[in-house]
Amino acid sequence: MRKNMQSTTGSGYKIIAVDDEEGIVDSLSVFLKRSGYNLTGVTDPMEAIELVKNEHFDLMILDFIMTPIHGDKVVEEIRKFNKELYILLLTGHKDLAPPLETIRKLDIQGYCEKSDKFDQLLLLIESGIKSIEQMNEIKRINGELSETIDKLEKAYLDSIETLRYTVEAKDPYTKGHSDRVSSYSVLIGKYLGLSEDDLKTLRIGGLFHDIGKIGIPDSILLKDSKLTDDEYSEIKNHPSIGAHILCNAEAFQDIIPIVKHHHERFDGRGYPGKLKGEDIPYFARIAAVADTFDAMTSKRTYRDSLPLDVVKEEIEDCSGTQFDPKIAKVFLDILNNHYDEIKKIQNEF
């Protein structure tokens, strides 16, 4: 079999024709050039696979019966790395054509019997180009929509970030606390095997979990002595205030359960909803462990940070009462066997 390659220019769409008969490739080149198409003709199916791997083509015209491999095997290889190439299958042997099931499985978009005239093939090519144009337009529109949504989300995120920094300016303890709770929550989520989308929710939820403190009076928030019962009741309103701040933003609906319920307890004695066990949103249960850990390991006006052994003992003792026991177990494993990742977060913030 003699290798033959030739290119013609015309339309902006690139077509590759693969047929081990050089005469067919020559005829297609002449015909499609006359019709205004940009064609690369190849007589070696193995070479065609490499070309598609390394260059962009919009449409492939592919013979079925070829050597050293048939057209269906060519498609099978191409679909491993290119799912979008529009493929038209040709055959000169009707009885040897691949079954419909194979054509569907390999996502071959068109099928045509070989003929001395290329009128039917031209119609299929024109139809294929229209489909490609529509897909490109859909991609363009989706890209613009995605960009717009990202900009809106960033604008809202920036606004909430401003509020978060306002809280930090009011409460020195909060500075760095939300960043660490966010990072601890993501770390726990990774060891729980959560998806990237879930980790993103944990990250943002951790950053904004205390946003409701902006609604707490400075006299209570900055008090360095023991709070009265009334003052403590006021502090306990911050999860609900935070949820209210975020409630009108569609982009942040996923983090509201974290903001609202990170002070719930597994035994049902937390706030604001006194939710119990698995009724507490899963991400809020993760944030609760991260939040408490940071509270215990941070210096306060009335005490120094607690030693690690004391912290681990407290988490273990509160497993099943304050904390989800499965999440507590995973976090204790991190503290015992991956503490370098905790230290990295602490050094960063």
At residue 314, φ and ψ (nearest 5 deg) are -65, -45
Residue 7: per-residue pLDDT: 46
Residue 9: per-residue pLDDT: 41
Residue 326 is encoded by which pair of tokens? 């499965």
Distance CA 212, CA 246 (A): 10
Residues 171-348: name the CATH superfamily: Hypothetical protein af1432 (1.10.3210.10)
Strand partners, 8: 39
Distance CA 305, CA 328 (A): 20
Catalytic residue among 105, 170, 175, 213: 213
Residue 8: per-residue pLDDT: 43
**In a 3-state reduction of DSSP, which class is residue 214?**
helix
Q: Is the pTM of this model over 0.75?
A: no
Instruction: Identify whether the C-beta of residue 163 lies closer than 8 Å to the C-beta of residue 211.
Output: yes
pLDDT digits (tens, 9 = 90+) for 270-315: 999 999 999 999 999 999 999 999 999 988 766 788 999 999 999 9
Instruction: Identify whether the C-beta of residue 45 lies closer than 8 Å to the C-beta of residue 20.
Output: yes
Distance CA 176, CA 270 (A): 24
Parallel, antiparallel or unpaired: strands 38-42 and 5-8? antiparallel
Residue 199: per-residue pLDDT: 97
Q: Where are the domains of the chain?
A: 5-134, 171-348
Averaged pLDDT, groups of 10, the chain, 349 residues long = 44 87 89 86 94 94 89 90 89 66 77 77 88 86 83 78 75 80 97 96 93 86 81 91 85 91 97 95 98 90 84 96 97 96 93
Residue 5: per-residue pLDDT: 47
Distance CA 18, CA 215 (A): 69
Burial class (CB in 10 A: 0-12, 13-18, 19+), 255: buried
Instruction: Identify whether the C-beta of residue 207 lies closer than 8 Å to the C-beta of residue 185.
Output: no
The CA distances from residue 328 to 206, 272, 295, in Å, are 17, 21, 16
CATH number of this structure's domain 5-134, picked from the four choices 3.40.50.2300, 3.60.20.10, 3.40.50.300, 3.60.15.10: 3.40.50.2300
Catalytic residue flag (residue 326): no
Q: Maximum Cα–Cα distance for the chain, whole Å?
A: 95
Distance CA 167, CA 214 (A): 5
Distance CA 228, CA 108 (A): 73
257 prior amide bond cis, ω within 30 = no
Residue 337: per-residue pLDDT: 96
